[in-house]
Amino acid sequence: MYHFRKLNTYIFLAFVALLASCKNKDVEPVVETATDTTTLFGNKDVNSWLYEIMNDAYFWYKEMPAESSLDKSMDPDDFFEKLVYQRQTVDRFSGVTDNIDVLQNEFNGISKIFGISYSLSYIDDSKSNIAAFLNYVVKGSPAAAAGLKRGDMILKVNGTQLTSDNYGALLGSNETVTLTLGTLTGTTITASNTTLTITKAEVNEDPVAFSGVISKPAYGKTIGYLVYTQFVPGTTADKEKYDNELRQVFADFKSKGVNELVLDLRLNSGGYISSAETLASLIGKNVSSTKIFYTEQWNDKYNAYWNKTNGANALKYNFQNEPNNIGSNLSRVFVLTSNATASASELVINGLKPYMDVITIGEHTAGKNLFGSLINDDQERWKWGAYIMLGQTANANGESDYGTVNGMTPTYLVEDSAVPYKAFGDENETLFRKALDVMGIPSDINARTSAAKKVISIQKQLRDNLKVSPALMLKKGLMKPAEL
Tell which of 172, 204, 236 closes a domain.
204
Give the mean model confidence (pLDDT) for residues 114-123: 91
Amino acid in the structure at residue 181: L
Output the pLDDT for position 483.
29
Confidence class for position 454, pLDDT limits 50, 70, 90: low
CA nearest neighbour of 228 among 348, 375, 381: 348
Check pLDDT > 90 for residue 125.
no
pLDDT in tens, 193-202: 999 999 999 8
Reported as a pLDDT band with limits 50, 70 and 90, residue 34 is: very low
Evaluate if residue 477 carries a pLDDT over 60: no
Give the number of C-alpha atoms closer than 13 A to the C-alpha of residue 67, restricted to the C-beta side. Answer: 12
> In whole angstroms, what is the distance from residue 460 CA to residue 334 CA?
22
**Are both 63 and 129 inside the same structural domain?**
no
Whether residue 267 is found in the same domain as residue 361: yes
Classify the C-alpha dihedral 268-152-415-87 as positive or negative.
Answer: negative
- Mean pLDDT estimate for the chain: 86
- Predicted confidence band of residue 217 (pLDDT cuts 50, 70, 90): very high
Band of residue 104 on the pLDDT scale cut at 50, 70, 90: confident
Note every long-range contact of 69-76, with CB atoms under 8 Å and residues 24 or more positions apart, other chains counting.
72/43, 72/44, 72/47, 72/48, 73/42, 73/43, 73/44, 73/47, 74/43, 74/47, 75/43, 76/43, 76/46, 76/47, 76/50, 76/384
pLDDT, greater one: 100 or 72: 72
Convert the pLDDT of each residue in 218-228 to its tens digit. 999 999 999 99
List, as one string, the DSSP characters of 378-422. Answer: TT---S-EEEEEEEEEE-TT---TT-STT-PPPSEE----EESPP
Instruction: Kindly report the backbone phi and psi dihedral angles of residue 280, in degrees, each rounded to the nearest multiple of 5, phi listed first.
Output: -60, -35
Looking up residue 196, the CATH number of its domain turns out to be: 2.30.42.10
Q: Is the pLDDT of residue 459 over 80?
A: no
Does the pLDDT value for residue 359 go beyond 80? Answer: yes
40 band by pLDDT with thresholds 50, 70 and 90: low
- Does 411 map to a domain? yes
Q: In terms of domains, do 171 and 230 share one?
A: no
What distance in Å separates the CA atoms of residue 366 and residue 271, rounded to the nearest whole number?
Answer: 14
Strand pairing of 153-157 and 188-199? unpaired
Peptide bond into 420 cis (omega under 30): yes
The pLDDT value recorded for residue 474 is 55
pLDDT classification of 384: cutoffs 50, 70, 90: very high
| Judgement on whether residues 159 and 23 belong to the same structural domain of the protein | no
Residue type, 266: R
Q: How far apart are CA 405 and CA 378, in angstroms?
A: 34
Q: Is residue 410 within 8 Å of 361, Cβ to Cβ?
A: yes
pLDDT band at 253 (very low <50, low <70, confident <90, very high): very high
Query: Can you give the pLDDT at residue 456?
Result: 60
pLDDT value at residue 458: 60
Average pLDDT over residues 457-477: 54
Specify the pLDDT at position 446: 60
pLDDT at 8 over 80: no
351 and 449 part of one domain: yes
More confident residue, 215 or 454: 215
Considering the domain architecture, whether residues 136 and 229 belong to the same structural domain is answered as no
pTM to 2 decimal places: 0.86
Least confident of 156-160, 174-178, 448-452: 448-452
Query: Quick one: 311 exposed, middle or buried, by C-beta within 10 A (0-12, 13-18, 19+)?
Result: exposed
- Angle in degrees, 0-180, between the axes of helices 43-57 and 76-83, rounded to the nearest 10: 20
Does 238 map to a domain?
yes
Question: Which three-class secondary structure state does DSSP give residue 360?
Answer: strand
Check residues 426 and 449 and name the one with the higher pLDDT.
426
Task: Report the pLDDT averaged over residues 279-302.
Answer: 98
Is residue 262 located within the same domain as residue 177?
Answer: no
CATH code: domain of residue 416: 3.90.226.10
Tell whether 382 is covered by a domain: yes
Tell me: the pLDDT tens digits for 394-428?
Answer: 999 999 999 999 999 999 999 998 888 999 999 99
Same domain, yes or no, for 44 and 175?
no
Q: What is the pLDDT of residue 460?
A: 58
Domain that holds residue 283: 12-109+205-474
Domain count, the chain: 2
Does residue 3 belong to any structural domain of this protein? Answer: no
User: Are 225 and 190 in the same domain?
Assistant: no
Q: How many CB atoms lie within 10 A of CB 308?
A: 9
Indicate whether 122 and 91 sit together in one domain.
Answer: no
Note the pLDDT of residue 478.
34
pLDDT at 465 over 70: no
Average pLDDT over residues 16-39: 35
pLDDT at 192 over 90: yes
Residues 6 or more apart in contact with residue 350 via CB below 8 angstroms:
294, 369, 393, 394, 395, 399, 400, 402, 408
Residue 120 half-sphere exposure toward CB, CA atoms < 13 A: 24
**What is the mean pLDDT of the segment spanning 225-232?**
97
Domain boundary among 157, 174, 204: 204
Task: Say if 416 falls within a structural domain.
Answer: yes
Amino acid 111: pLDDT: 75
Task: Specify the pLDDT at position 440.
Answer: 98
pLDDT of 26 > 50? The answer is: no
| Residue 1 domain flag | no
Report the SS3 class of residue 303. helix
Would you say residue 482 lies in a domain? Answer: no
DSSP assigned state of 423: P
Q: Are 156 and 272 in a shared domain? A: no
| Boundary-marking domain end, from 174, 204, 234 | 204
CB atoms within 10 A of CB 187: 10
In the predicted structure, residue 107 carries a pLDDT above the cut 90:
no
Q: For residues 56 and 42, give the distance between their C-alpha atoms in angstroms, rounded to a whole number.
A: 22
Task: Say if residue 231's pLDDT is above 60.
Answer: yes
- Residue at 453 is within a domain: yes
Statement to judge: residues 226 and 285 lie in one domain: yes
